[in-house]
Amino acid sequence: MGDSTRQIEREIASARGQLEDNIEELKSRVVDAADWKKQFERNTWVALGMAFGGGLVISALVRPSARTVYPARTVPGDYKPSAIADVWDGVKAAATSFAGAKLIEVVNEAVPGFADHYQKSR
């Protein structure tokens, strides 16, 4: 009876080892299947096609219909821009002026006398 018990224990241990190996293999396959980067590498064109199709579906669902009419944007007569808007307008004007002055300098270096002709034309 002792030999058959040991043989059963060895068979159980062997089966346990095989099951552990199978479980590890299964875990590895599940991780690989869930890894979108690996799936993209294996099936690039399928992934791109699915992304394109998904984009088409989303755009069809989100896009307003051709019959949608949007009201014209109106500004009340007593509208006054905020202080931040005034500052931003000043910054834009200064940047534009600076860029224009630098452009005139660069062109004047490339074409001597340009700045004189530019000043006369103003």
What would the pLDDT profile of 55-89 be if each residue is shown by its tens digit?
888 877 776 666 666 666 665 666 666 788 788 88
What does the pLDDT look like over 96-112, one tens digit per residue? 888 888 888 888 887 88
> What does the pLDDT read at residue 65?
61
pLDDT at 52: 86
The ranges assigned to domains in the chain are: 2-62, 83-121
What pLDDT does residue 69 have?
Answer: 64
What's the pLDDT at 68?
A: 63
* CB of 5 closer than 8 Å to CB of 11: no
**What is the number of other CB atoms lying within 10 angstroms of the CB of residue 40?**
13
Q: What is the DSSP letter of 111?
A: S
